[in-house]
Structure 1
C-alpha cells in the first residue's frame, strides 16, 4: 500500500501561527503556562473548594505510611486494610505492618514465576512479542491484590519492627536493576542450554540453583525474613494488649484475622472485548506459582461504587486501583475532573478527546496506583459526591497524607476495587465463583500493576 505523504508546509505553519496570535486567550494561556506549568494554569479554584474534607461515612486509620522511593503502593494499600483490623481489635493508637517483609517474598516469588515462564516459552522467538514482554520487567515493584493475597496466604505478615525498612526497600531502583539483570542472564542461560539439547530435569536443576542465588541477592539487600518474632502491643491506655512469640502465619491469624478468600477483585473496563458480568484473568500474570494468577469480575463502575459504599458503611476500608496521575492536583491531594480545565486552557479537547473505553483501548489510561478508600460524602439523594483516600506517600503529602476523589473522577479513572464478596449480588457472586475466566493477553491494560510513587 502506497504511503500517503502529507508534509507540513511553511504555509501551514504560517497559518497556524497567525491563528494562534489572533486570539487573546492563546496569548494569556501562553504566558501563564510557560511561567507556571499546565496544571497550575489550568487549576479551577471553585472546583478545588468543593473538595473540602467532611464525610458522612468515615473509617479512621492510624498514622500515615510512606512507601518512599519504591513502587509498593499495592502492598501498602493491602497492609493498610489489614492493619486497620489490628488497630481496632486491640484499641491501638497506631500500628504498622512490615512492608519490607512482603517485598522480599514478592521478589523471590516473581523471580520463580519469571523463570517458569522462561522455561514455558523456550521455543518462542526471543524477539517475539511474548518473550519480549516477559523480559521487559520481570520483577518490577508493582502488583495486584490477588498477588498480595497469595503472599500472605503462604508467608503471613509481621510487625514493622520484626523486619524494618532498609536502604534497598526505601529505594528499590538499584536492587531491581541488578536482580533484573541477573534474571535476564538466567533466561539467556536457560535458552542456550535448551538449544544445546539439555533436558527438562537438568533445566529444572538450573532453575533451583538460580533461585538460591536470587535468595542470596535479596537477603543481602533486605535482610532475611524472620521465622518468628516477639510481639508486645500496647493499647491507647498503655495497657499490654498482645504479647508472645509468633510465626508470621500465626501473627496474621491472631492479630489480623482477615478471611482472605472472602475478598474479590472487581474491575470496570467498558471495552468491547470485555463484556460486563463475566470473570477474567490475565495470561502469565502472578507471583506465587502454586497459587495461580489473578481473577476479576468486570462490572459497571456504578457496581464498584455500590460495593465500596456498603463495605465502608460496615466500618471497613476498601482497597482500590486507579490511574492516579489524571486530573490530579498532587500537592493539594485532589483528584477531580473539574479541578483542572486543560481543554479551556488550550482551546480544544485534550483531556476530553477520548472517553473511558477509548483511553483504555488506545493506551492513554490504565491502573497505575493502589490506595485505600476510607470515607465518602453523600448528596441529598444518597449518591456519593466525594471520596476520602488514604495514600501511602507520607503525612506531608496532600492533607496530612489524605487525598480526595470526586465522584466524577471515580467514574473516569477508578478501575478496580477489592471488597468482601458478600456485597455482590447473588448473580455476580455466582459468576465470580463458578465461571471459567476469560483469558486476557499479558499486555492487556487490565493486567497493569499498581506501582506509582
Structure 2
C-alpha cells in the first residue's frame, strides 16, 4: 500500500488565505453560521413559483402524522386505500389504523429475521451477509409489496379499533428493545447449532422466541382486534356502514382494492439494472409465505405517464423517493433549483455525478414514501409540478402537502405503485413474464425497508 500523505500547516495556511481573500466567502460564512446552509441558499424566486392549484387533483382526507416513527410506507399505503372508503360511503373524512399493521409487521419481520438467521447459521457472524442481517432486523421501514402481504394476511381496521399508542407514535424504545432481544436470540440459535442442534431443534427454539415477541408487542402496542364494531356516518350524518367485522371482512367491505392489480415500478439507471427487466432484493420481506418484493425497472418518463393516467382516473399514487435532496422542508418544496448550494460555497457540490453514480456511490437511495395526489401539465401535456400528500401532519408545509418539481422527479423519485391497467401493454407483460434478477440485500432499491 502506498504511504498516506498528511495535511500540513502550509496546506491549511494556503486554504485559509484563499478563503478570506474572497469577500463572498466571508459573507457566506457570516450568514450560514447564523442561519444555516439551506436558509441562506434558498432561492426566493424559485420558491415563489410553487403553486397550490393543480390541473389534475385527487381530493384527499385530512392530513395524517407518522410522528416519531419510520412508518411512511404504511401511511402512504393506508392513505391511498382510505380514499376509496371515503368515496364509497360519502364520508367527510376517514383514517385507517396505522398501529394495526405496525404490530403485524414487527411480528412478521421477527419471524423473517429468525428464518434468515437459521438459514445462515453456517456462515461467519463477521461476514457481510450475517452482519447485514444483524444491523437492523426490525426497522420501521418497508415496501409496498410488504404492505400488500400484511393486508392480505391480516386485513385493516379503522383507527378507532386500534388507536395510536406511545410506542407506535415513537417507536424508538420498542425497536431498541425488540432488536436487542432478536440479536440475543440469534446468538442463542447460532450457539445451539455450533453445539450440534439441527434445524428442527432451532425452529422449536424459534417458536418460543416468537411467543415472547408477541408478548412484547402486545405490551407496547396493545392486542390487535380480531373483531370490532363499525358505525360510519356520511357527510349528511346518515349511517353509511354498520356492523361487526373481522379485519379481513372490513377490508373487503370498506376498501375493496384488488391488491394483486397493483405493481411496483422503479427507475434506477445503474449498470446492473437494465431497463425493461424485473428485480427482487435478496432477503427483503416480512411475511414468509408471501415471498419478497418485485420491481420492473423503467425510465422516469414511464413512471410519470403511469402516475398521470392513475391520477386522471381519480386515484392517488404511492411513490418512494430520496426526500431530503434539494428540499426546503418548512415550505414543502422539492426542487433542484430551490437551493443555490454551489453558488453559496463557490464550487460544485451538488454536481459531480449523475443519478446512476449517486446510487453507486451511496449519495442517494430511497428514504421516504408519500402519495402523489395532483399534477400540473404543460400545453403539450407534460408534467411540470406534482402535488404530494406527506404524512408529517397538517402543520407541515402547505397544510400538510408538498410540491415536487418535475425535474426533481427525474433525479430523486425511484418508485411508483400503480394499477397494472395504467401500464403500457409491453411493460405489463414484462412485469409478469420475466424472471426477476436478484439484487444484493444492501442494494439501494431496498433501502426504504431499512
Task: Give the TM interval when normalised to the shorter protein.
Answer: over 0.9
Name the CA shift for 1:450/1:385 in 2 (closer, same or farther; >3 Å): farther
Whole-Å separation in 2 of the counterparts to 1:137 and 1:7: 36
C-alpha distance in 1 between matches for 2:4 and 2:66: 49
In the other structure, the counterpart of 2:263 is 264
Aligned: 1:237 with 2:236: yes
Q: Does residue 1:15 correspond to 2:14, yes or no?
A: yes
Aligned-residue offset at 1:450: 5.3
Runs of 4+ residues over 6 Å off in structure 1: none
Superposition map of 1:62-141 within 5 A? 62-141=61-140
The alpha-carbon deviation at position 53 of structure 1 amounts to: 1.1
Contact preservation (8 Å) 1:65, 1:393: yes
Instruction: Provide the residue aligned with 1:404 in structure 2.
Output: 403
Deviation track 1:212-243 (CA, whole Å, cap 9, x = no partner) reads: 11101001111111011100000001010000
Measured in 2, the distance between the counterparts of 1:450 and 1:402 equals 23
Structure 2 equivalent of residue 289 of structure 1: 288
Deviation by residue 1:268-311 (Cα, 9 ceiling, x = unmatched): 00000100000000000000000000000000011110100110
String of CA shifts for 1:119-160, please: whole Å, max 9, x gaps: 000000001000000000000000000000000000000000
Residues 281, 438 of structure 1: 8 Å contact kept: yes
Q: CA deviation at 1:17?
A: 1.4
Aligned to 2:190: 191
The DSSP-based 3-state class of the residue aligned with 1:97 is coil
- Contact kept in structure 2, 1:366 and 1:448, CA below 8 Å: yes
Distance of 2:365 and 2:337 partners within structure 1: 20
Deviation by residue 1:33-69 (Cα, 9 ceiling, x = unmatched):
1110000000000000111211000000111101111
Q: Quick check: 1:321–1:450 contact (8 Å CA) kept in 2?
A: no
Structure 2: stretches of 5+ with no match in the other structure: none
Q: Is the 8 A contact 2:38 2:328 kept in 1?
A: yes
Which whole-Å CA distance do the structure 1 matches of 2:449 and 2:385 have between them?
A: 22
Compute the displacement of 1:4 (Å): 4.2
Question: SS in structure 1 opposite 2:351?
Answer: helix
User: How do 1:359-374 residues align onto structure 2 when only pairs under 5 Å count?
Assistant: 359-374=358-373
Contact 2:375 2:386 in 1 (8 A): yes
Which residue pairs with 1:274 in the alignment? 273
* Alignment TM-score, normalising by the size of structure 1: 0.98
Q: Which residue of 2 aligns with 1:319?
A: 318
For residues 434 and 224 of structure 1, what CA distance do their matches in structure 2 show? 41
For 2:287 and 2:205, locate their aligned partners in 1 and report how far apart those are by CA, in whole Å.
Answer: 19
| 1:162-181 equivalence runs, <5 A | 162-181=161-180
1:442 aligned partner: 441
Most deviating of 422-431 and 78-87: 422-431
Report the more deviating stretch, 349-358 or 55-64.
349-358
RMSD between superposed Cα atoms in Å? 0.9
How far apart, CA to CA, are the structure 2 residues paired with 1:282 and 1:14? Answer: 49
The 3-state SS of whatever aligns with 1:353 is: coil
Q: Contact between 1:370 and 1:450, CA under 8 Å: does it hold in 2?
A: no
> 1:34 maps to which residue?
33
Specify every segment of 5 or more residues in structure 1 that has no aligned partner in the other structure, as ranges.
none
Could you tell me which residue of structure 2 aligns to residue 349 of structure 1? 348
Cα separation, 2, equivalents of 1:113 and 1:261: 22
Q: Is the 8 A contact 2:139 2:449 kept in 1?
A: no
Query: May I ask how many residue pairs the two structures share in their alignment?
Result: 450
Give, in angstroms, the shift of residue 263 of structure 1.
0.3
Contact 1:369 1:450 in 2 (8 A): no
Task: Provide the TM-score with structure 2 as the length reference.
Answer: 0.99
